[in-house]
Amino acid sequence: MKITRINVRRKPQQSRAKFTQDALMDSFVQLLLEKEAAQITIREITDLAGVGLGTFYEYFSQKEDLLALTIHHYVQRNALALQHSCETALKQNIPLKTYIHSLIHVQIEAIAEQSHLWQKLFLLERHISNIDMYQKHYLQHVHAWCFALKQHPRHTEINIEWLALNIHRISYGFISQSLMVNLEIPDWKKLEQDIQIALSGCI
């Protein structure tokens, strides 16, 4: 079933409500590491989260909405992590090319730490997200790269939008396809080297 938009019945305004919504997402993620999404029931999610079925339906109309929100949460967190890592990289006073490679390294490290989860999230996104949602997530990362590139002192010498798009095209393509196509977790060091080689024509 393709999700055209994330339908959240109750948007958490208070910390307690946010805690409940996060608990439902965390429970789904924990179950997703053990089985396929189609096998996970709402009852299993609520039991693990320690809430009742009624509480689930206060927030979501169906399981797919929770799935879509979870994917969105992880994509958003990944994009924000890229932005936050800029400050650390800039302290090293490094050339633009090295700066970009260091940010890609941070991004790969974050995904490698949760390889099995990202493998399932990439596959799940293609199963439940329609084109509009997919494009939104894609552009979110491109914008994050635009932000990162603008922080570097040499940013005026480059076409930021073009370079940001191509960095994400290459890094996202290499990472997501390596996880989705192969059953085994990739050699992350080799994958990072391949991304750097592919990017050499853009930087």
181-196 burial, b for 16+ CB within 10 Å, e for fewer?
eeeeebebeebbeebb
Domain with CATH 1.10.357 in the chain: 67-199
Report the pLDDT averaged over residues 6-27: 73
The region of weakest confidence among 8-17, 166-175, 191-200 is 8-17
Q: Which of the pair, 92 or 31, is modelled with greater confidence?
A: 31
Assess whether pLDDT exceeds 70 at residue 1: no
The region of weakest confidence among 97-111, 116-130, 146-160 is 116-130
pLDDT bin (cut points 50, 70, 90) of residue 129 is confident
Of the candidates 138, 13, 148, the residue with the CA atom closest to the CA atom of residue 80: 148
Report the pLDDT averaged over residues 153-176: 94
What CATH number matches the domain at 67-199, 1.10.357, 1.10.10, 1.10.3470, 3.30.70? 1.10.357
- Let me know how long the chain is: 203
Bridge partners, 129 (sequence order): 3
Domain with CATH 1.10.10.60 in the chain: 6-61
pLDDT bin (cut points 50, 70, 90) of residue 7 is low
Share in percent of the chain as helix, strand, coil (round to 5): 75, 0, 25
How far apart are alpha carbons 49 and 191 in whole angstroms?
36
Assess whether pLDDT exceeds 50 at residue 3: no
pLDDT bin (cut points 50, 70, 90) of residue 185 is confident
Assess whether pLDDT exceeds 60 at residue 133: yes
User: Could you give the 3-state DSSP secondary structure of residue 129?
Assistant: strand
Q: Each residue of 26-45: pLDDT tens digit?
A: 999 999 999 999 999 999 99
pLDDT bin (cut points 50, 70, 90) of residue 127 is confident
CATH architecture, range 6-61? Orthogonal Bundle (1.10)
How far apart are alpha carbons 178 and 174 in whole angstroms?
6
Give whichever of 38-52, 89-103, 182-196 has the largest mean pLDDT: 38-52
Amino acid at site 147: F
Q: Which two tokens stand for residue 161?
A: 């939008």
Q: Which two tokens stand for residue 156?
A: 């005026």
pLDDT bin (cut points 50, 70, 90) of residue 4 is very low
